[in-house]
Structure 1
Amino acid sequence: MARIICGVDVSGQRLDGRIGPDGPAVSVERSAKGVEQLGGFCAEHGVELVVMEATGGLEKLPFGLLWAAGLACAVVNPRQVRRFAEAMGYLEKTDDIDAGVIAQFAQVKNLVGQVPATLNQERLRALVVRLRQLTDLKVVQTNQRRLLNDPDALASIDEITALIRHQIRGFETAIAELLGGDPVWRALDQAFREIKGVADRTVAHLMAQMPEIGTYSNKAIAKLAGLAPLARDSGRRSGQRSIYGGRSQVRSILFVVAAVVARHEPDFIAFRQRLLDAGKPKMAVRVALARKLLVRLNAKARDARRALVAA
């Protein structure tokens, strides 16, 4: 029996909901009051699941408030929904149509509710994102300084850089305290650091951007990070495998850390050399090392979680 699903198209000002592809619809403000009205609409029609696209963070308000009101919610990839709409023959694109397509997509995919992140998880994610922004900003200021000779301009750069460094230290301290205050994160931190080359920032990024680590299979976690080679075969043709999609921020940090680990861990050193001796392209070697590191981290996280449960 088909579930009653409400698709919601989220924009900066409005929330447009529709039950199924052509059922009852509602349009409300994207505000606490509007979400309350949307919740009442869903309760009136016996909605079991509310689904919305990821919209650059605009979906966080309705997602959190609807869950708090007891309505299960899920967030989906907008690219997948758009391709689904095209495959289903929806050539028009309006907020109302999009909401119905989202509901139909969720029905076909048999989606379930995604439990919202805890307050600590949200805080860790925010701290890690800001730390990365500050680090990038420091690099920009450092590069700009090399091109300057004027004393006033150099003094301005130095003043800004000093402030950035001060804030970076503050965020690093806050992140360390947050990780140390959670027993699961503390256990994962200790487990991850057993791998030479894995430092505090790696742990923070993984905890913030991939909280599922240690709960998924190695194949699933690699696909989640976009490090699983995807088949490109058709008939007698066997296409070259390539990676696609996934969490780019996790992938980028793994590329960097895997290169460091491959200089310290004996099995990584040997693995890298075997790939190079086999004539593998440098990018393929880079991806393989990152995937091997993620699988190792996932195994350590799984063991650490089991030990906590058994304790």
Structure 2
Amino acid sequence: MAEYVGIDVSKEHLDIALHEAKRVWRCSHDDDGLQALAKELASIGPELIVLEATGGFEITVLAALTVARLPVAVVNPRNVRDFAKASGRLAKTDKLDARCIAHFAAAMQPSRTEMPDETTLALEQLLARRRQLMQELVAEKNRRSTLLGPRRTQRVLDSLDGHIDWLTKEIADIDDDLRGHIERSDTWRAKDQLLRTVPGVGPGTARTLLVELPELGTLDRKTIASLAGLAPFNDDSGGKERRRSIRGGRTPVRSMLYMACVSGLRCNPVLQSLYERLVAAGKPAKLALTACMRKLLTILNAMVKAGRPWSFTAATS
């Protein structure tokens, strides 16, 4: 009988559960623990091993198991949580989480996750750090704007200004690193240049799409929109018909597409025309902008699939 494995990943340790054998054990999250785990699982020969994306802690586990030629899938924690609720599992411990992940693996059988190559992994980590720094930069600028009138203290202002300058420099340095990684890879450089031919798509959007949405150009327009969280879902039941809405997907991709569309409304004739037509038809501005995001992603997906740069004629056909 096929065996499915669930692994609950934390910084210090891993909890492993076998679905069919009903076995649960723990090992340390270090080199020795990972080697022992890979050896143990190789002797079992599981059909699939599933672990949740945990902010980067899962990368070492994925790498160790991939090197051992074991089938691994990294899944969205939200999917597992929803599965647990649907199964009536309300209690939560590391061992119970591992059991739930193993049950999820057996029931849903998600697609295997291929270990990212060196360039992709480096870009992914750099982009994650850049997002963190950008969030902190916005927060520090907001804090500075509140220091007005009698609340204005030179010591605090100097501290904020110094940190803002440091954050700005760090972001610029990471941008240089991102550029260097892309320029050293012929494949990445070609895709980056291709995406940036679209009016409104800058280096930040192109790099985010390359790293966070590697499926770009390999899927149909509906599937790629769903991955990005831009596919509208019906919410109808009985005699009620509710407005369709978007949800889920890859937040970094959706955020960058939003910024690209805000920029594109000033310089991209396809997005301008679509937005103006929807607003004139009485659609809310937010809905019109979301439609533009979906349209832009569809255009980019078709471009990468065909290997052709931006063309107004092709984008409107």
**Inter-CA distance 144–108: structure 2 relative to 1 (3 Å threshold):** closer
Match of 2:289 in 1: 286
Mapping of residues 159-308 of structure 1, within 5 Å: 159-304=162-307
Contact 2:183–2:189 (CA under 8 A) maintained in structure 1? yes
Contact 2:235–2:241 (CA under 8 A) maintained in structure 1? yes
Q: Which runs of 5+ in 2 are unaligned?
A: 309-317
Q: Percent identity?
A: 37
User: What TM-score, normalized to structure 1?
Assistant: 0.89
Match of 1:124 in 2: 123
Mapping of residues 65-80 of structure 1, within 5 Å: 65-80=64-79
Match of 2:99 in 1: 100
The offset of 1:257, in angstroms, is: 1.0
**Inter-CA distance 177–100: structure 2 relative to 1 (3 Å threshold):** same
Contact 1:21–1:100 (CA under 8 A) maintained in structure 2? no
**Inter-CA distance 110–161: structure 2 relative to 1 (3 Å threshold):** closer
1:187-242 deviation digits (Å, cap 9, x = unpaired)? 22222122112111111221222222111211111111111101112244332110
**Inter-CA distance 242–110: structure 2 relative to 1 (3 Å threshold):** same
User: What TM-score, normalized to structure 2?
Assistant: 0.88
Contact 2:217–2:304 (CA under 8 A) maintained in structure 1? yes
- 1:78, 1:138 → 2: CA distance? 28
- 2:20, 2:93 → 1: CA distance? 13
Match of 1:136 in 2: 135
- 2:6, 2:143 → 1: CA distance? 47
Q: Any idea what SS the aligned residue of 2:97 has? A: helix
Q: How much is the aligned-residue C-alpha RMSD, in angstroms?
A: 2.3
Which stretch has the larger CA shift, 276-285 or 133-142?
Answer: 133-142
1:151-170 deviation digits (Å, cap 9, x = unpaired)? 44444444333333332222
Mapping of residues 137-156 of structure 1, within 5 Å: 137-146=136-145, 147=147, 149-156=152-159
- 1:289, 1:124 → 2: CA distance? 27
The offset of 1:123, in angstroms, is: 0.9
Q: Any idea what SS the aligned residue of 1:52 has? A: strand
**Inter-CA distance 13–174: structure 2 relative to 1 (3 Å threshold):** closer
- 1:122, 1:187 → 2: CA distance? 18
Q: Any idea what SS the aligned residue of 2:200 has? A: coil
**Inter-CA distance 128–93: structure 2 relative to 1 (3 Å threshold):** closer
**Inter-CA distance 80–133: structure 2 relative to 1 (3 Å threshold):** closer
**Inter-CA distance 89–163: structure 2 relative to 1 (3 Å threshold):** closer
- 1:101, 1:262 → 2: CA distance? 45
**Inter-CA distance 282–205: structure 2 relative to 1 (3 Å threshold):** same
Contact 1:26–1:41 (CA under 8 A) maintained in structure 2? no
1:76-112 deviation digits (Å, cap 9, x = unpaired)? 2222222323323445444333323212211222223
User: Letter of the aligned partner of 1:119 in structure 2?
Assistant: E
Q: Any idea what SS the aligned residue of 1:6 has? A: strand
**Inter-CA distance 139–76: structure 2 relative to 1 (3 Å threshold):** closer
User: Letter of the aligned partner of 1:234 in structure 2?
Assistant: S
Q: Any idea what SS the aligned residue of 1:115 has? A: coil
Match of 2:312 in 1: none
Contact 1:230–1:243 (CA under 8 A) maintained in structure 2? yes
Contact 1:8–1:17 (CA under 8 A) maintained in structure 2? yes
The offset of 1:145, in angstroms, is: 3.7
Match of 1:9 in 2: 8
Contact 2:204–2:256 (CA under 8 A) maintained in structure 1? no
Match of 2:311 in 1: none
- 2:11, 2:134 → 1: CA distance? 29
**Inter-CA distance 6–280: structure 2 relative to 1 (3 Å threshold):** same
Contact 2:4–2:20 (CA under 8 A) maintained in structure 1? no
**Inter-CA distance 20–143: structure 2 relative to 1 (3 Å threshold):** closer
- 2:265, 2:3 → 1: CA distance? 50
Q: Any idea what SS the aligned residue of 1:116 has? A: coil
